[in-house]
Amino acid sequence: MKIKTNGSSVWPYIVVGSAVGGAVGYLLMTENGRKVCRSLSHPDELSNNIDGARGFIERKARIVTGKVHDVINKARHSMQEGERAYRESGLRYRTQVRHIESKNNEIASGVHDTVDKVSRTASTIEQNVLDPVVELGALVRGVERGIRAMFGRDRGPRRPERPIMGS
């Protein structure tokens, strides 16, 4: 039998032969390959290995799950602390604003009281000091004019009279 070997039909055989040779070499020549061969030839050990792997995966899953729960609990606690700090800050701010408003109202009331007292004092001074002084000035002027008229010392045209305050 003559195998025709042209360049295009040989390559699939070479690739398949290389793959099979590599797999056999791996299974027979390496430690991990020998373990695979042993587990394939002894299925009872394979089930033990699968049970061991499952137990290992379950333990690691519990550890990872515990760590995830810890992270979630820390995040939840952090959010609760942040919310509490926000509420406390808002309460302190509102308390300070109320205190400032109270002080502002107290100051405004004091200013209004002072303005009222100054106004009453000015009115009292006007009534008790200025009005009598103006009246006294008018009286002096009247007496002076009367004396001049009586002694004939009237000096010509009279100045117009200024109105007396408060009359």
Could you read off the pLDDT of 62-118 as tens digits, one per residue?
999 999 999 999 999 999 999 999 999 999 999 999 999 999 999 999 999 999 999
Instruction: Report d(CA 102, CA 156) in Å as an integer.
Output: 68
Q: Is residue 53 situated within a structural domain?
A: yes
Q: Is residue 157 part of a domain?
A: no
Within a domain: 146: yes
Give domain status of residue 167, yes or no: no
Domain annotation covers residue 76:
yes
Question: Per the structure block, which two tokens stand in for 87?
Answer: 């509420």
Total domains, the chain:
1
Range of the domain at 140: 42-151
pTM over 0.75: no
131 closest CA partner among 165, 101, 154, 108: 165
Residue 140, pLDDT > 70, answer yes
